[in-house]
């Protein structure tokens, strides 16, 4: 059995209309709550109401297995639906952000318990210590490390 700890997932971006009902069912099956961990569990009706607001959907689960939404995330990846997921750290699991914008693989970044994005010192040191590249290239590589291209704003969900 996996450890269970808090996670939230935000779903947005362009989504095929044909996936509206399967997405609603998938979200409801996660047994999380919308817009706050102390709210009632997300029913299909609550999810439909939230979708009418034209924002991104935010699902919380204080007891997510390994801090993830396994089936929902697999569905989102399969259908290239955009999302952000934050998982708290617990025991040997570090806190993390996962960003997905329809590319082949999601971007996974370490986080702290306040949902801030962290960088590994070793990654920056590797760039800074590389004697084969000039300072301008080092700055560009550090900028890419801090602001990866996959890290774009999540748009409200819109069915197309």
The model's pLDDT over 83-109, given as tens digits with 9 standing for 90+, comes to: 999 998 777 677 899 999 998 889 998
- CATH architecture under which domain 4-118 falls: 2-Layer Sandwich (3.30)
Q: What is the pLDDT of residue 39?
A: 64
Q: How far apart are CA 159 and CA 20, in angstroms?
A: 7
The number of beta carbons lying within 10 Å of the beta carbon of residue 121 is: 8
Residues in the chain: 160
What's the predicted TM-score (pTM) here? 0.85
What are the C-alpha distances in Å from 112 to residues 33, 95, 149? 23, 6, 21
> Which strand (E) or helix (H) includes residue 100?
strand 96-100
């Amino acid at each position: 059995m996996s450890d269970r700890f808090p996670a939230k997932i935000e779903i947005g971006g362009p989504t095929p209309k044909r996936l509206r009902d399967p997405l609603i069912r998938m979200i409801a099956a996660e047994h999380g709550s919308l817009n706050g961990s102390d709210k009632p569990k997300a029913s299909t009706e609550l999810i439909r109401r939230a979708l009418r607001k034209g924002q991104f959907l935010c699902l919380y689960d204080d007891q997510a297995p390994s801090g993830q939404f396994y089936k929902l995330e697999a569905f989102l990846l399969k259908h290239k639906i955009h999302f952000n997921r934050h998982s708290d750290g617990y025991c040997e699991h570090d806190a993390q952000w996962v960003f997905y914008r329809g590319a082949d693989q999601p971007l996974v970044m370490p986080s702290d318990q306040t949902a801030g994005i962290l960088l590994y010192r070793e990654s920056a040191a590797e760039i800074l210590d590389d004697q084969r590249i000039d300072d301008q290239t080092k700055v560009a590589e550090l900028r890419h490390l801090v602001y990866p291209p996959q890290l774009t704003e999540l748009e409200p969900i819109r069915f197309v």
